[in-house]
Amino acid sequence: MTRAVLSIGSNLGDRLGHLRLAVEGFAGSLVAVSPVYETAPWGVTDQDDFLNAVLIVSDEVDEWGWLRRGQALEEASGRVRERRWGPRTLDVDVVSVDGVTSADPELLLPHPGAFERATVLVPWLDVEPGAVLPGHGRVADLVAGLDLSGVTRRDDLRLGDRSTRG
């Protein structure tokens, strides 16, 4: 049994619908679903804002299983990878898998950019106030050091009945 933190995001087409596709795709493994946040793009800034959320999942799957499930959902949403950090219908990142580190270029764990991304840390903190990002410390402390402008909680948008603290 592994427990993972997954970050989901979309800024193309039916953004909320794409996030819901991810929630449905992980439905049997869901422990918690964060509230939805609207966030300014990160990396490549000449694109539309994202909707982001975090899923906490647990199942009889290893880290590669979480990655493959996320990639299958990205493909089902019609994701096209044209440029790094570019617009996308759905992005599913494996942020952390309990007890696992990986230096494999296909699956770096914990996710190498998570410690500086409000798009990941803010929703994660909502569902797991005591969360720790391996190698970087408490998520609450990391969030305290971030610029949160461009990060807006969207309580008018819901992903399901588990959109509460886990």
**Average pLDDT per block of 10 residues along the chain, 166 residues long:** 96 95 96 96 83 98 96 88 74 94 94 94 97 96 95 93 46
Rounded to two decimals, what is the model's pTM? 0.92
- DSSP string for residues in 75-90: HHTT----STT---S-
pLDDT of residue 166: 37
pLDDT of residue 161: 61
pLDDT of residue 84: 65
Q: CA-CA-CA-CA torsion for 94, 98, 104, 110, nearest 10 degrees?
A: 60
pLDDT of residue 160: 73
First to last CA, the chain: 17
